[in-house]
Amino acid sequence: MPATLGKQLAAGTYGVSILFRRNIRYVEDRADLEALVALNRELHVAAPDGTPALIAIDQEGGTVARVRAPATLWPPMMAHDRLAPPDDVATAEQVGLAIGQELRALGLDIDFAPVLDVHTNPANPIIGERAFGTTAETVTRRALAFARGLDAAGVLSCGKHFPGHGDTDTDSHLALPRIDHDWARLEAVELAPFRAAAAAQLPMVMTAHVVFGALDATRPATLSPQVITGLLRDQLGYRGVIVSDDLDMKAIAATLGADVAAVGAIRAGCDVVLLCCDETNQQLAEEGLIKAAEGDSELRRRLGESAGRVRAMKRAHVANQAKHPARGLDVVGSAEHRALADRLR
């Protein structure tokens, strides 16, 4: 493997590590925080490109929270609907700051949050109360406030799932959803929070494994150049890092191998590809990218572009962390944070 290509691949596809509950030691349903800190310390020096790895986690609140007690247990973000404006926005920012402070104390860099999906379908099996609201306006205000809170804690945010998973009736972990709204509807509802996120320069956006008939009738957004490059990059003007949702999810894996999916995601415009379940698939994806890039100058260019974005995000992250020193472990599950969580219940 050429050295330059290897460095590009390392930075553009391995720049981020993600932890799940299975990676966290629990003793009688309580997370071993010291063990998690030690694990993250090891992972920070493990990036193949020679720079510290960025360690990510899904810590949204509600059911999607990988670090449980003694960390603060947050209600789902739809709970902000109980608050009147502007208190809902102020509280969302406080919640983002509190979650960020706890993650930062544990040695984590990225929260794969906020959810920017608008919950418009009561039959949606995967988004539901994870959303910040049922209208584009409420989601935009609250979710971007949450992201500002994370930033103030020195944690990177990641808006998801572009261009919107809120009106599906299928779980993309299990099958490939499809949305057939026209452009006017997509622009008014699904895309509105992401347009605002692009303007606010959120550092990361995660893609959806969903087919949008009005945008690309055959390919899910993650694999669609029209959606990722044409829409998110060119039309919405997003300049941050684009990360795929997990390519091991059946919406992708049921029809494509990890090698083909990884190459397709990078060609579409993703900068980081997630493969979260199968180490064999991780190896297959790496080999597929190397083989395809060796004979394709455009793919090599894309890998270099992605690597540059990841490195730039790392530099900005280090600078932001210097402005916001980490709190001690006593902030995790603190009385102040538990009281804030109780406000949403």
**Which residues are designated catalytic?**
173, 245
CA angle at 195 for the pair 189 and 200, rounded to the nearest 5°: 135
Amino acid sitting at position 319: A
Nearest-CA neighbor of 5 among 309, 315, 258, 301? 301
Q: Dihedral (C-alpha) 133, 136, 140, 143: value to the nearest 10 degrees?
A: 30
CA distance 44 to 166: 34
How many CB atoms are located within 10 Å of the residue 279 CB? 8
- Whose tokens are 């980081």? That residue is 272
Q: Specify which residues 64 forms β-bridges with.
A: 61
Q: What share of the chain is helix, strand, coil (3-state, %, to 5)?
A: 50, 15, 40
Per DSSP, the residues of 146-170 read: HHHHHHHTT-EEEEEEET--TT-SS
CA angle at 17 for the pair 4 and 161, rounded to the nearest 5°: 105
CA distance 116 to 96: 14
